[in-house]
Copies of this chain bind each other. A is one copy, B any other.
Amino acid sequence: MSKSVEFYFDVGSPAAYLAWTQMPRIAAETGATVHDRPMLLGGVFQATGNRSPMEVPAKSRWMEQDLARHAARYGVPFRLNPHFPINTLMLMRAAVGLQMRQPEKLRPCVDAVMRAIWVDGRDMNEPAEVAAVLQQAGFEPQALLALTQDPAVKERLKAATQEAVARGVFGAPTFFVGDQMFWGQDRLDFVKESLR
C-alpha cells in the first residue's frame, strides 16, 4: 500500500511557505507521495470563523519571530512580506488551473510565487509584479491570467475550498494522512510519525 499525505495550502500563508519547503524532505524521509491541495485561505477563514494570527498585534509580533526560528531550523530563507496580507484569489486560481490543465507545472509555479512572496518580498497584490515574477519563472503571464478567468477553474477553487472546510480545515497549512488531520508547519513531526 503506497503512503500519501495531502497538503492543503495557500501561497499567502507564511507557515504554508515553510511547510512547502519541507514537503520534499518529508516525502524522501517517509517514502510518501505528497498530494497538493490548493485552496483559498480567505474562504476557509470566512467559512469557519477563524482569522489570521496576524490580526492580533501581539500574536503577529511573536509569529514573526517564531516563523524566523523555524526557518533557521529548516535552513531556508524567509522574511515576512512587507505587503502582507496578500489577496491570493488570482494566484490560487492559477494554481488549481495548472493542476487541472498542466499538473506538472503546478509546483514550479508555486515555487516561484512562494519565493517571490516569502523570500524576495515582492508585492503580489500588483498584477504587474505578478506578471514579472511568472515571466521570470518561465511562464506566459497572459496564458495564466486567462486560466484564472476560466469558469471551470473558478468553480474548482471554490469547490476545493469548500471540500477543505467540510473535512475540518480551518487554517494553513493542513495535512491529512488518511483521516488524520494535522494543522500547522509545526506539526510536520506528527505527520512524519503518522506516515511511518
Residues of A within 8 A of B (CB): 48-50, 55-59, 61-62, 65-66, 69, 165, 168-171, 181-183, 186-187, 190
Contacts of A187 in B (CB 8 A): 66
Q: Is the CB of B50 within 8 A of A170?
A: no
Contacts of A55 in B (CB 8 A): 49
Q: Is the CB of B48 within 8 A of A58?
A: yes
A69–B56 CA distance with the chains assembled, in angstroms: 27
Return A97 CB to nearest CB of chain B, in Å.
27
Give the oligomeric copy count: 2
Q: Is the CB of A65 within 8 A of B190?
A: no
A66–B56 CA distance with the chains assembled, in angstroms: 23
Contacts of A61 in B (CB 8 A): 168
Nearest B-chain residue to A58, judged by Cβ: B170
Known contacts A69-B190, A181-B65; A169 and B58 CB within 8 A of each other: yes
Known contacts A48-B56, A50-B56; A62 and B168 CB within 8 A of each other: yes
Return A47 CB to nearest CB of chain B, in Å.
9
Sample (6) of A-B pairs whose CB atoms are under 8 Å apart:
A48-B58, A49-B56, A50-B58, A58-B169, A62-B170, A69-B190
